[in-house]
Amino acid sequence: MRATSLRAGTGAGEARPVGLSGEALPYRSQAQRAGAAAGSGRRGPFRPWTRGRGPCIVRARRRGAAEGADMTDDSRAPSAPYDPGNIFARILRGEIPAHKVYEDEATLAFMDVMPQGEGHTLVIPKAPARGLLDADPASLAALVATVQRVARAVKTAFAADGLTIFQYNEPAGGQTVFHLHVHIVPRREGVMLKRHEGGMADPVMLADHAARIRAALDSTGG
């Protein structure tokens, strides 16, 4: 197969395929290509050139696009910057109390004050991150390790049949507190999750649940 490059033609928007040595390759005009596409029902931004024994498909640059522009750019950055005034950041700074169950140099786990089930626990990184998309990979790795450790203790503490573990990103994804956090909820067969907006839980109950999880962590060396 001969390597090819494209050489500008004389028609508006036209380009001609040429070999690396400069020789012209077999070519179909724009009108011929348009007629072939209409006859086949083919649509879309692909323009075929005939090269050798078969077609050479080249994607056309969008009209008016800058030369060399990346047409597939799809940013994964969060839609807003991190806000250090969020409630979880304030818990990390000790400005708001929490029923803590586990803490190390990189993460913190504590009870959700509006639980969707008994034992509903949150795990957060200490490094600031709005969500999964802007988290530092090292911080994210530490978070996942803590989620696994605490999830095992939660399942044991509440003799759960299983666990639901979930994490939201941005308002459209269900996120309401904009500091990266992971939910751990113990589950029992046939028991549905409560609504998260069901009101603040009894602090005495939350303290008891936290104590049960800490005891499970201690028993397993967590």
User: Distance between CA 99 and CA 173 in Å, rounded?
Assistant: 26
Which residue in the list 181, 183, 196, 209 is annotated as catalytic?
181
User: Distance between CA 198 and CA 203 in Å, rounded?
Assistant: 15
Angle between helix axes 137-157 and 203-219 (nearest 10 degrees) is 100
Q: Tell me if residue 99 is catalytic.
A: no
Which of the 8 DSSP states describes residue 62? P
Secondary structure percentages of the chain, helix, strand, coil, to 5: 25, 20, 50
Instruction: Report whether 8 contacts 19 (CB < 8 A).
Output: no
Residues identified as active-site: 181
